[in-house]
Structure 1
Amino acid sequence: MTDHQIINPLSTGTDYQTLAARFRPIFARIAAGAVEREQSRRLPFEPIEWLKQAGFGAVRVPVEYGGGGASVPQLFELLIELAEADSNVPQALRGHFAFAEDRLNAAPGPARDVWFKRFVAGDIVGCAWTEIGNVAIGDVVTKVSPHGDKWRLNGEKFYSTGSLFSDWIDVYAQRSDTGGDVIAAVRTRQPGIVQSDDWDGFGQRTTGSGTSRFIDAEVEAENIIDFATRFKYQTAFYQLVLLATLAGIGRAALRDVALQVRERKRIYSHGNAAHVSQDAQVQQVVGEIAALVYAAEATALHAAQPAQRAYEARFGGDGALEHAANVAAEIQSAKAQVVVSQLIQRATSELFNALGASDVRQGKALDRHWRNARTVSSHNPLIYKARIVGDWVINGTEPPFVWQIGNGPQLK
């Protein structure tokens, strides 16, 4: 047993207010430019650089390695605050925090230490997993091939969220020699990678979720990671990022509707008060929005707790306990997805019932809250998650921990 195996500090949590205080001034700067970025579709290169320089990408790294030592729920509480400032930014960092979580779950040793140092130094990791077009479900067209003492990566991915801002890309690929599925962690700044900002969704417009092409991109041998070793609560973790994003969207919508009502001077002759802020019906609408957002945030944070237990169980030496924790992480994130998506879509629509026709003008960009919420809610279809939860509750059927998307068989 080596020293690296003996010394394995875990990130079990820190004082949240102290941790959040480091980043709240940056969140405020990000919020100040959110509407302008939305209207001009300007990608958040500067905001992500501010976060990198402040060590945001290392908040889950153990303090013994220079990171923040945050627990999983504390990470998602931070992401909710960040999403309130600009919901595009936490989604752009989704791949980074998932890859960082995978390294946190990796066996202790020099290879893991290298990644911890990179995260602390400010390196950010994007992701590129999904292949679109004429690809059958289960097929992996992107290949990584041995080339001397290194590897060459070839393929094309869409939904490569955050990769435009990243130093590395976490690429799901298949080995050409063995057919095994792997993660290729590839350096972004090289001639063999072509990135396109061609995401054209009506929401979450500035997440950098476009196409990445890999043409003989170079990958170091130590950065070819067997996919079978990927952390087991990964699907739940990815979903938790989206839940935090939704909760933050709700907080932003509540903030904006309260401000608009507070400052509104025009009233209706058939209203209930001389000032909109004193109108009982308007107050009720805002109060209901506040309740919806409260429930969504509380649900998202509660759903993050099993993922922390799964992380700690990874090194606990009890395989049955670890498996149960992974199942709980998946089921609870799925239940939360079904509820939180509905709560925030309702909240971001209801806000217009407290306002007037002038508040749908593009200059206020209040519609972005619903568009962003609807877009985030369209990831990982919640109808399937509801069925999985129902199957678990009724029959005890364990949830899938990894799933794929692609073309089905041709209809006869």
Structure 2
Amino acid sequence: MLDKTRLETLPATPDWSEPTRRLGLADAFARFAADAAERDVERRPIHAEVQELKAAGYGAVRLPTELGGAGLSLPDLFGLTRDLATADSNVAHVFRNHFHAVEQHLRTPDEPFSARLLDLARQGRMFGVAFSEVTRDPAGGRGTVPAAELAWSEAEGRYRISGTKIYSTGNMYADHLMVSARSGRTGEATAFLVGTEAEGVRLEDDWDGFGQKLTGSGRTVFDRVPVMETDLFTPPAQGPDSYGYTFHQIYLTTIVSGVVQRILIDAINLVRGRSRNYYHGLADHPRQEPEIQSVIGRIAGYRSAVIGTVERAIAALDEAWLAAGTPDAHELSVQATIAAAEAKLVTDEVAATLASLLIDVASGSGVSVRNAFDRHWRNIKVIAAHNPRIYKERVVGDFHLNGTLPPTGAFF
């Protein structure tokens, strides 16, 4: 029989997913969670946490076992991501570009560059990207084009690159960067791989966002960095039927769902830890207060709804990717990207509301800077700002009304 008295004093803990338990990561995630508020308050980088995951083979979990990985399915990867975000959304966020790179090159494992990248992942190496620049596209005034130029040196027999990239999420913790540049030979955009320790690479922790403060999303500066011709590569084509960037969108929304999971855990532990109720309350203890119980119920219900809608999008993406090359691939890809957009619309709005409800049930005991409960709202809003839902709403509505296909670019 359930011991209600004992339950009132036990701390609520995450119900870790099966892949997290199978890979033996539950203890590490629990430790990350225990110090997450302190790291946020002190703005203490997450080098130790990321290094521990690298050493545990975290970045290779999607590689098949014959390539040295854990052979996890796509849904399993997102389950891990939600658990890690429940512990600390910053740590989960810095692996986004890494996992997208792995996913891209898993499609072409026999290509020389893909084989090289996947082997680096097997070795525990982590990838970041350096694409975005302040320079605007002169044709339309929107988006960015690479202004950083690869200059070929006949004397050296190699390229050198100089330029500045912005929004370099995770690069502080990465071992290798995939970088876009303009070829000095052809003037066309190209890409190359470079080590973060290479001569002339500078990673600046100047990200000033009010949330996700530890993701290292500042500038990456290249000062005549040497690049060998063998380091150049052509990114795998996304194609109009693939909607390959849907992965990015679901990954971010999965992180927010992990924050929602943490909000419920924090709310339960806060209420169980409160010993005094307001004099005009109806119960002796906050955990017995009907209004408090109602708010906890609301957070729990919406938490389940958020996870459900995100898992629907994950399942749709998995089905679409498994159907690659079949006559159904395009339709399934469209369905997946719409499901991802719908999950984002629901999650971004609901999650921010739940973060505010956490403070409601905490009362005065919840506003301490030391506890950093405000980080949940701040982190949710910063993650959501990657691709504002107000733009998504129109596209989803146009699709349902008129069958207009969503765009295929990186922000959809």
TM-score, normalization: structure 2? 0.88
CA displacement 1:210-263 (0-9 Å, x = unmatched): 000112223343442324624743321111111111011111111111001001
The residue type paired with residue 315 of structure 2 is Q
Task: Indicate how the Cα distance of structure 1 residues 17 and 212 shifts in structure 2: closer, same or farther if over 3 A, else same.
Answer: closer
Please say if 1:139 is aligned against 2:149. Answer: no
* Paired residues, number: 388
CA contact (8 A) 1:84 1:251 kept: yes
Change (3 A) 1:166 1:379: same
Write out aligned runs for 1:281-320 (5 A): 281-314=291-324, 317-318=325-326, 320=327
Q: Name the counterpart of 1:221.
A: 229
State the match for 1:38 in structure 2: 40
Find the counterpart in structure 1 of residue 189 from structure 2.
181
Residue aligning to 2:106 = 104
Query: Once the two structures are superposed, what CA deviation does each residue of 1:113-139 show, in whole Å capped at 9, x if it has no partner?
Result: 222221111000012222126664353
Unaligned runs of 5+ in 2: 1-16
Amino acid at match of 1:298: G
Q: Does 1:280 pair with 2:290?
A: yes
The 5 A counterparts of 1:18-57 are: 20-57=22-59
Which of 155, 159, 164 does residue 163 from structure 2 map onto? 155
TM alignment of 1:7-86, pairs within 5 A: 16-17=18-19, 20-86=22-88
- C-alpha root-mean-square deviation of aligned residues, in Å? 2.2
Measure the CA separation in 1 of the matches of 2:211 and 2:127: 23
Residue 399, structure 1, aligned to residue 393, structure 2:
no
Q: For residues 313 and 97 of structure 2, what CA distance do their matches in structure 1 show? A: 19
Task: With the length of structure 1 as denominator, give the TM-score of the two structures.
Answer: 0.88
- Is 2:168 aligned against 1:166? no
Give the Cα separation in 2 of the matches to 1:114 and 1:216.
24
Residues 319-357 of structure 1: CA distance to partner in whole angstroms, max 9, x if unpaired?
x43322332222211111111101111111111221212
Identify if the C-alpha distance between structure 1 residues 18 and 253 changes in structure 2 by more than 3 Å, giving closer, same or farther.
Answer: closer
In 2: Cα distance, 1:239 partner to 1:160 partner: 17
Following the alignment from structure 2 to structure 1, what is the Cα–Cα distance between the partners of residues 254 and 228?
A: 34
Percent identity over paired residues: 35
CA contact (8 A) 2:299 2:354 kept: yes
Shift of 1:18: 6.8
Amino acid at match of 2:261: R
> For the residues of structure 1 that align with 2:321 and 2:257, how far apart are their CA atoms?
23
Q: How does 1:368-407 map to 2 (within 5 A)?
A: 368-403=375-410
The 1-side partners of 2:124 and 2:338 are apart by 33
- Contact in 1 for aligned 2:135/2:146 (Cα 8 Å): no
Q: Which moved more, 1:161-170 or 1:15-24?
A: 15-24
Q: 1:139 is matched by which residue type in structure 2? A: V
Q: 2:259 matched to 1:244?
A: no
Q: What secondary structure does 1:274 align onto?
A: coil
Q: How does 1:186-265 map to 2 (within 5 A)?
A: 186-227=194-235, 229-230=237-238, 232-265=242-275
Provide the secondary structure at the position in 2 that maps to 1:229.
Answer: coil
Q: Post-superposition shift, 1:403? A: 4.8
Q: Out of 316, 321, 325, which is 2:328 matched to? A: 321
State the Cα distance separating 1:27 from its structure 2 match: 0.7
Equivalent residue of 2:205, what SS? coil
Q: Distance in 2 between matches of 1:300 and 1:217?
A: 41
